[in-house]
Amino acid sequence: MTKFLPFLLIISLTIGCAGYNFEKVEINLKTGKPVDAYNYLKKNAPKNPDIPHQYELGLTAHYANLFPESSKAFEQAELIAEDRFTKSVSKEALSLVTTDKLRPYVGTRYERLLGHYYSALNYIYKGNLDDALVECRRATNLIQYFKGEEKEYNFFSTGFLTHFCGMVFEAAGEWNDAFISYRQAEEYYKNAAAITGVPMPEDVGHSLVRVSRKLGFTEEYERYRTQYEEPAPLPENHGELILFYETGYVPRKREETLTFPILKTDKFGENDDKDSIKFARTLRTRQGMVVEEIKLEYLVHVAMPTIRSNRPRFAGVRISVEEEIADGVLIEDIETMAIETLESERPIILIRTLVRALGKYLIFRKAKKENKVLGAVVNLAGVLTESADVRSWQTLPNQIFMVRMPLSAGTHKINLSFLNANGRVSGNESISDVKITSNRITFLNFRTYK
């Protein structure tokens, strides 16, 4: 029995540690209490900083107008992600015995990029445009790294991030950088559109026309003007409002249980056969297969992460300021990216999960040979430690829309009408005392949770 004590010790270490209750965070945000959500997360922080918690901390602090605290949390998350990109061998090995939850979580690529979006907004709201530019450069460098790492990179979030960065560079008068970012946004939106369903916004084309003209790039200007048409000039004594409307929640990962039968005729595990990956591929084809009891040797139960669509009630926005009216344009569909990202990872996750389950099965079989009671205990322990890795950034919105509109210099009341899936108004809010400066860009983001 002493052979299996290390295994049982691992089990005792992996069970427990409930962490924070996300429903409490969600309720506080929905009821307009982001400070309470932030304080709850601070109070229930893990002993060692971890990426999902840092993301939740950063976004709740952002909505609570605790901008320095928000940027600090996002920076911490990115530092951990960079450090974890070099995998922890010990935890990788342990995860094959117990659960994927012991694998170092590095965050998805779109999560890491969106952290830079919120951090840049934090600096903008603090009047620190220089640090916002630094965040944009970090984001674009990260995109280049992702592109170099994977030939079949899906470009999720890259169109939105480079589009956003183009606007930030433009607001700072960094025209060359703005032009490069808008040109990248044109490419990245088009690369991802087939999967995300988000076409390149008209603003990207108009920005390329405007900025190439500003820079005196005659050839590029003529090409973009022919392709996208000349945008309307900014009226005299006017500035611009750029508002990002964030709606709903990204759907959370859930756990589902799948079953795979091992047949009595299978040769796996005989003569110390260690080819678990090969047999896992065979087992994968038997998902949900019904087998007669006389043919069944063992029924493998595994836990897998899954995501189902959770579209919010509000599916668009209309902005009115005095006589000016503009509809929001969808520029980021985070739900689609979350579902597609997990779907692309699913084959690898399933094989890894089956290999782990087969390892537990072999341990159970050896224990059963020595002692039936011990076998039952080890089998139960294997079931208890089988859980899916459902870690993610849960406070992210479901979708992001953008409105870019010229407004006269001065202080305005911004009226927002929230549209349902049929394009009808389903709710209203307003933002008072929005200051517009002549020939300058004013950034805002606004969140609803319905």
Which amino acid is residue 413, in one-letter code? K
What confidence tens digit (pLDDT) does each residue in 109-133 have?
999 999 999 999 999 999 999 999 9
In the chain, what are the domain boundaries? Answer: 254-306+343-384
Strands 441-448 and 238-247: parallel
Helix (H, G, I), strand (E, B) or coil at 179: helix
pLDDT tier, 173 (very low <50, low <70, confident <90, very high otherwise)? very high
Report the pLDDT averaged over residues 153-158.
94
Residue 95 has pLDDT above 60, yes or no: no
Return the higher-pLDDT residue of 249 and 388. Answer: 249
pLDDT of residue 267: 85
Report the pLDDT averaged over residues 422-448.
96
Residue 86 has pLDDT above 70, yes or no: no
Residue 364 has pLDDT above 80, yes or no: no
Look up tokens 């530019």; give the residue.
133
Helix (H, G, I), strand (E, B) or coil at 244: strand
pLDDT of residue 64: 98
Is-contact 212 362, C-beta < 8 A?
no
CA 16 – CA 400 distance, rounded (Å)? 36
Per DSSP, 199 falls in state P
Residue 307 has pLDDT above 50, yes or no: yes
Residue 233 has pLDDT above 90, yes or no: yes
DSSP track, 139-150: HHHHHHHHHHH-
Residue 365 has pLDDT above 80, yes or no: no
Tokens read off for 372: 């039936």
Report the pLDDT averaged over residues 426-439.
96
Q: What is the mean pLDDT of the chain?
A: 89
pLDDT tier, 190 (very low <50, low <70, confident <90, very high otherwise)? very high
Q: State residue 363 phi and psi, 5-degree precision.
A: -65, -45
Is-contact 212 221, C-beta < 8 A?
yes
Tokens read off for 178: 């703005």
pLDDT tier, 298 (very low <50, low <70, confident <90, very high otherwise)? confident
Residue 370 has pLDDT above 70, yes or no: no
Residue 158 has pLDDT above 50, yes or no: yes
pLDDT of residue 15: 46
Residue 168 has pLDDT above 70, yes or no: yes
CA 255 – CA 303 distance, rounded (Å)? 6
What confidence tens digit (pLDDT) does each residue in 240-270 have?
999 999 999 999 999 999 999 999 999 887 6
> What distances in angstroms separate CA 161 from CA 43, 235, 354, one per listed residue?
32, 28, 37
pLDDT tier, 98 (very low <50, low <70, confident <90, very high otherwise)? low
Distance of CA 127 to the CA centre of its chain: 27
pLDDT tier, 2 (very low <50, low <70, confident <90, very high otherwise)? very low
> What distances in angstroms separate CA 207 from CA 12, 124, 226, 443, one per listed residue?
57, 20, 13, 16
**Bridge partner list, 299:** 261
Residue 77 has pLDDT above 60, yes or no: yes
What confidence tens digit (pLDDT) does each residue in 5-48 have?
455 445 544 444 457 899 999 999 999 999 999 999 999 998 88
3-state helix, strand, coil in the chain (%, to 5): 50, 20, 30
For the chain, percent of residues with pLDDT exceeding 90 = 72
Residue 99 has pLDDT above 70, yes or no: no
Residue 241: name the closest of 11, 449, 431, 448 by CA.
431
Residue 94 has pLDDT above 50, yes or no: no
pLDDT of residue 432: 95
Report the pLDDT averaged over residues 292-315.
92
Helix (H, G, I), strand (E, B) or coil at 97: helix
Confirm whether pTM is higher than 0.75.
yes
Report the pLDDT averaged over residues 381-394.
79
Residue 447: name the closest of 418, 423, 425 by CA.
418
Highest average pLDDT, of 6-10, 53-57, 276-280, comes from 53-57
